[in-house]
A and B are shown apart, each in its own frame.
Chain A
Amino acid sequence: MPLITVSQLSKKFCARLRTSLWYGLRDMAAEVLPWRPRRQARLRPHEFWGLQDVSFELRPGEALAIVGANGAGKSTLLKLLNGLIKPDGGRIHIRGQVGALIELGVGLDPVLSGRENVFVRAALLGFSRAQVGPLLADIEAFAGLGEAMEMPVQFYSSGMVSRLAYAVTVHLRPEVLLVDEVLAVGDMDFQRKCINHMLAYLAGGGAIVLVSHNPYHIQAVCQRGLLLEHGQVTFAGTGLETLDRYFATQLQAPGQVGSAVPTASASRPVVIRGLQFEAQGAPAITNGCPLRVSLAYEAHHAIENVGWAFYMWTNDGLTCVTGGLRLEPVTLQAGHHQLACTVVDLPLTAGEYVVKAAIFELHSQQPLALVGWEDAPVSLRVEGSIDLEKNFQSMLRQLVTLNLSWHN
């Protein structure tokens, strides 16, 4: 039996503050008149769907990653699951206690010590001192704060606050755990501890809803994932598939760099107009094939002594795999032109990658134009055949394939 059943969940918000307050007043009045028919499905002026028709189930032992850009509705979904706000459509059915790890420092009293705050936090979550007493040793051991437990929380770092709040919440043993990007502030040791705890918690029959952009956390914990875009579920699959899909939505199409890029001017002498990849002598870009990289630029006037570079990253944007850096002086011609080079033997294993590029002044090494750093990078797909070797590569998430000659 699922621990969480969410069906056609919708929530609307109002974009204007005063109108929102007025709607709030009307909605509160409507609560007192339950016999009056409601029209939740209709948006009132200045309202928009923050979440629309979201459905999923979560069974004991399952962890679901919620992935999406800022404003996609992830936090709204967690607030609804936590019962902080009320749906405008659909239904949530939860079997068991819910523990929420959302903004961990909230609710802790800065003047009280860590240990005193354990009791206050637990009290707010409905647990008496008598219930918390026997758990205190475990909570202190998990938080690993040592003598800092006696110190007022106002002197804690954000990582220490996370440790304390996480330790309290998880030791109260909820059946469902809602986790919202809270591991980001902890150090590596604590993150590892949390991941191990979550795995043990899942093995014990708990369920987790995790909002994170960290591929490692999602890969380690979540079997399943949901991609939210503008409040709607646009993809549901495994955790990694969902992440891949999310990163793909963040990319720019090859050759088409930011349609909003301004034209070159005296104050902005160079802009990058496109980044193209083309397999040479092969129908598709594959490992080992020669790859032509062309960077289209527009220069306001001729500029001497510039260098340029491109870097190939894993498609989560976390690891730079390889790249090319031209330090020989190049002269940019005024108008629309191209810089190009050929990767003689593309080392990338089949898969999705992203490419960032830059044109910079050689002497000062200051960038003149960038693509992929402050805006979305350009995607690069390396094709591969479906065979045993490819399966091993996918399983290991191998990034580079060597050009080998086996001797026996």
Chain B
Amino acid sequence: MTEIIYSPESPLASPRAFGRAVLADIKAVFRIGWQLFVRNLVVQYRQSVLGYLWLLLPPLVLALVWTVLGRAQVLRTQALAVPFPVYVLAGVFLWQGFVEALNGPLQQLSAVRHTLAKVRVPHEAFVVAGMGVVVFNLAIRLAVLVVAMWWFEVPFRVTLALVPLGAAALLALGLALGWGVAVLGMLYSDIGNGLSVGVNLWFLITPVVYVLPGHYARYFNLNPVTPLLTTTRNWLLLGALPPAPGFWTVAALASMGVALGWLAYRLAQPHLVVRL
């Protein structure tokens, strides 16, 4: 029979028991998260006429717009090894994945805050379900990108096999920061408001639609998204194997951040529920 004890002490007072409880829950969290993800996919377009076409439309429209802009040569700044529209599309799609992972936890948890306040459910499952949507969306965008690469006759190189690793590192960075954003954002609405402003500024200092300027590369690399995005895009389009400086450090820190964020949210959860 399950035995549950609720007391004021911090779960970290007995770290082993805390670790065991987290590990015991992980399986259930992923199982529930998967069911919620499937539910979300089913529900998402049930009230829509175009239905699942909406999954494909935004990246397709974006691809078309950049193709037209590329043909018009309005944004070309310098010679690139690949057609400019493909370069920008790869950058934008990866950036969108990062931003969705960053926003995901707060968005998912805020959307169900009434449920979280009344029903005992594993909060992490909603974040897992949200990350499922992020991965799914990124996969669709990358599929559109592959079609664009074929259209622009960009060769498919062996480094494509490494793209999932780069994308995972990018999403991990988004999620690691997203956990922190969620813990604070569930309390203070300033965090959510500030995030949308911050993301727009962040976009400008990340080489998404422009090439990393040689003179300032050192400063741009301080932005943790830069090495992950640049490396993944290189693996996608250029076949350049060596990752950008800082890639492994940021990827390792991001992975640790995901785990720490998960634990931090778990500790914060009862204090958040009181204030929902």
Residues of A within 8 A of B (CB): 13, 20-21, 24-25, 27-28, 30-35, 38, 40, 79-80, 82-98, 100, 102-103, 106-107, 109, 111-112, 116, 119-120, 123-126, 128-129, 175
Contact = CB atoms under 8 A, between A and B. Distances in A.
B43 A109 contact: yes
B114 A31 contact: no
Given A24-B275, A31-B267, A82-B120, A91 B6 contact: yes
B12 interface: yes
A24 B271 CA distance: 6
A86 B270 contact: yes
Interface string B1-13: 1111111111111
Contacts of B2: 95-97
Nearest to B15: A34
B121 interface: yes
A196 to B, nearest CB: 25
A86 B6 contact: yes
Given A96-B1, A123-B35, A91 B188 contact: no
Interface of B: 1-13, 28, 31-32, 35-36, 39, 42-43, 46-47, 112, 114-115, 117-122, 125, 183-184, 187-188, 264, 267-268, 270-275
B35 A34 contact: no
Contacts of A125: 121
Given A28-B268, A82-B120, A109-B43, A123 B12 contact: no
B275 A20 contact: yes
A107 B116 CA distance: 9
A106 B268 contact: no
B8 A124 contact: no
A24 B9 CA distance: 15
A116 B35 CA distance: 11
A109 B121 contact: no
Contacts of B270: 84-86
B275 A95 contact: no
Contacts of B183: 28
6 contacts: A84-B120, A87-B8, A96-B1, A100-B119, A100-B120, A116-B39
Contacts of B43: 109, 111-112
A326 B121 CA distance: 59
Given A106-B115, A111-B47, A31 B10 contact: yes
A210 B184 CA distance: 35
Contacts of A24: 187, 271-272, 274-275
Nearest to A125: B121
A119 B34 CA distance: 13
Contacts of B4: 83, 92-95, 98
Closest 9 CB pairs of A and B: A86-B270, A34-B10, A34-B13, A31-B267, A123-B35, A92-B6, A34-B12, A28-B268, A94-B4
B189 to A, nearest CB: 10
A124 B119 contact: yes
Most A C-beta atoms less than 10 A away, residue of B6, B32, B43, B120: B6
A103 B117 CA distance: 10
A88 B11 CA distance: 14
Contact of A31 (B46, B47, B268): B268
B5 A92 contact: yes
Nearest to A109: B43
A95 B3 contact: yes
Contacts of B42: 112, 116
A88 B8 CA distance: 5
A42 to B, nearest CB: 12
Given A24-B271, A32-B264, A107 B119 contact: yes
Most A C-beta atoms less than 10 A away, residue of B9, B10, B122: B10
Given A20-B275, A86-B270, A126 B32 contact: yes
A53 B114 CA distance: 28
A264 to B, nearest CB: 46
Contacts of B117: 84
Nearest to B11: A31
Given A87-B6, A94-B3, 15 more contacts: A31-B12, A84-B117, A86-B271, A88-B8, A92-B4, A93-B4, A95-B1, A95-B3, A103-B119, A106-B114, A107-B119, A119-B35, A120-B36, A126-B28, A128-B31
Given A28-B183, A106-B114, A112-B43, A83 B271 contact: no
Contacts of A124: 32, 115, 119, 121, 125
B180 to A, nearest CB: 12
Nearest to A102: B118
Contacts of B28: 126
A121 to B, nearest CB: 9
Contacts of A30: 10
Contacts of B13: 34-35
Contact of B267 (A32, A87, A128): A32
A86 B8 contact: yes
A40 B31 CA distance: 36
Contacts of A33: 10
A107 B6 contact: no
A21 B31 contact: no
A13 B121 contact: no
A91 B264 contact: no
B3 A21 contact: no
Nearest to A106: B118
A98 B114 CA distance: 20
Contacts of A32: 10, 12, 264, 267
Nearest to A180: B118
A21 B187 CA distance: 6
Nearest to A5: B5
